[in-house]
């Protein structure tokens, strides 16, 4: 079986809030990527590379991977650093 990575997707660049980033995804790594001779794009005949499974928690994703004997790597999300400042701080410096 292919190796997979379990991660939380990053927010869309058009999002300002933190909505819709509470799901965990299992994504399989591409086996033997090649170059499409016609277009020059990266291609693969492995159909698992097109599959992304969504889970509500990390534990459910890990349990699914273990149950189906999928080698996996968990990528923990980085904590967002919030700097609180006042509007008046723009004019004090």
| pLDDT value for 20 | 65
Q: Please state the pTM of the whole predicted model.
A: 0.72
| pLDDT value for 69 | 93
Q: How far apart are CA 65 and CA 51, in angstroms?
A: 14
| pLDDT value for 62 | 95
Q: How far apart are CA 85 and CA 67, in angstroms?
A: 47
Pairing status of strand 52-55 against strand 42-43: unpaired
| pLDDT value for 7 | 94
Listed as ranges, residues in the chain with pLDDT below 50 are none
| pLDDT value for 93 | 67
Domain boundaries, the chain: 3-92
Its CATH class, for the domain covering 3-92, is alpha beta
| pLDDT value for 76 | 92
């Amino acid at each position: 079986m292919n190796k997979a990575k379990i991660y939380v997707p990053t927010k869309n660049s058009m999002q300002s809030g933190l909505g819709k980033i509470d799901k965990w995804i299992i994504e399989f790594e591409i086996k033997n990527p090649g170059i499409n001779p016609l277009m020059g794009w990266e291609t693969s005949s492995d159909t698992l590379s097109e599959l992304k499974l969504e889970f509500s928690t990390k534990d459910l994703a890990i349990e699914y991977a273990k149950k189906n004997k999928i080698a996996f790597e968990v990528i923990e999300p980085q904590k967002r650093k919030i700097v609180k400042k006042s509007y008046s701080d723009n004019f004090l410096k």
